[in-house]
A = this chain, B = another copy of it.
Amino acid sequence: MLTDIALDAMGSDKAPEPEIRGAIAACTHLPVRVHLVGPQDVLRRALSAHLNGQQLPIEIVHASEHIAMDEKAAHAVRAKKDSSMRVGLKLVREKRVAGFFTAGNTGAGMATAKMVLGALPGVDRPALAIVVPTLSGSPTILLDVGANVDCKPQNLEQFAVMGEMYARSVLKIARPRVGILSVGEEEGKGNDLTREAWALLKQLPINFIGNVEGRDIYNGSCDVIVCDGFVGNVALKTSEGLTRLVREMLKASLTTTVTAQVGALLSRKAFNAFKRRLDPSEYGGAPLLGVRGVCIIGHGSSNDRAVMNGIRVAAEFAQAGINDGIEREFSQRPVTETDQPSVDPNLPLQ
């Protein structure tokens, strides 16, 4: 049986090309049916040009508008009632598809998902999670990386529950180690938020290992790392900036001398292997955890491979039944009261 996934065909920087090629790749390699959401005339033409007569389970769902990468999310979400994001997420709400993927404006994607799908019972603030490669080979989940600034300890507690569930269900880690991102490993270290969150997390029926530090994001010593959205976003963006610096420096170093140029040519294959391991397109985008439905948000620079992986992650997320698990988890324990969510739908992640 095929899993139905809605795909925002107008999301990425080069849309709809990567989306159409990604949908074709996904339907070729994975047991999925893709619902391409966007302007039907444009999509129909482009799709038939690429399919070239081939029969694949791809359907087109019309949406007359789309939200640009540099649009202010709060305004766009309200104003564009027929955006490809909104139409795609409505398919999720109406259970016509099992999940949704977009490589578009992150702030708009989160805001639209919260508006169209709503939060799961017990979740005050949905969180955006990223899955990063580590030294140990096993990936680490970091959340929240973009949705919530100025969190309460209870938010970090909820992030821990949701992240742990994702690690178990999708990443198949039997007993995920959960830590709080802080500036020292001992219990007393950190700021008011992390100290109060510590007290809450150690009560949870999870494998809580205490505080971890920034370097632990990439060394594989912890499977799920929670932090407020401000700190998580800084860590994510700092990593993006440093990756770019490293790439440019290597390129510059390698073209300096003729010997180095020959060396670079010979080791290009190895470089490509390395790049693939660090490449976000292999990781298929960031899941938005805590909304009533499956929503995965990819990078604006997504290529067809990244789109295919985003579709794959959406399907795996849906099949793992994570949202049922999160709901069950929160219904079984006393809900800690927090204030009203104060999400910032303008927050640009990319």
Contacts and interface: CB of A to CB of B under 8 A. Distances in A.
Given A241-B219, A248-B135, A278-B249, A346 B230 contact: no
A241 B214 contact: yes
A253 to B, nearest CB: 4
Contact of A263 (B181, B192, B237, B266): B266
Interface residues of A, number: 69
Contacts of A237: 183, 213-215
Given A217-B238, A231-B231, A237-B214, A191 B149 contact: yes
**By CB atoms of chain B within 10 A, which of A242, A250, A252 has the most?**
A242
B270 A254 contact: yes
A305 to B, nearest CB: 19
B270 A135 contact: no
A262 interface: yes
Interface string A168-195: 0000000000000111101011111000
A274 B259 contact: no
Contacts of A150: 191-192
Nearest to A239: B242
A268 interface: yes
A134 B263 contact: no
A36 to B, nearest CB: 30
Contacts of A344: 189
A273 B249 CA distance: 9
Interface in A239-275: 239-246, 248-250, 252-254, 256-257, 259-260, 262-271, 273-274
A21 interface: no
Contacts of A277: 249, 253
A153 to B, nearest CB: 14
A236 interface: yes
A270 B238 CA distance: 25
Interface of A: 133-135, 146, 149-150, 181-184, 186, 188-192, 213-219, 227, 229-231, 233-246, 248-250, 252-254, 256-257, 259-260, 262-271, 273-274, 277-278, 344, 346-348
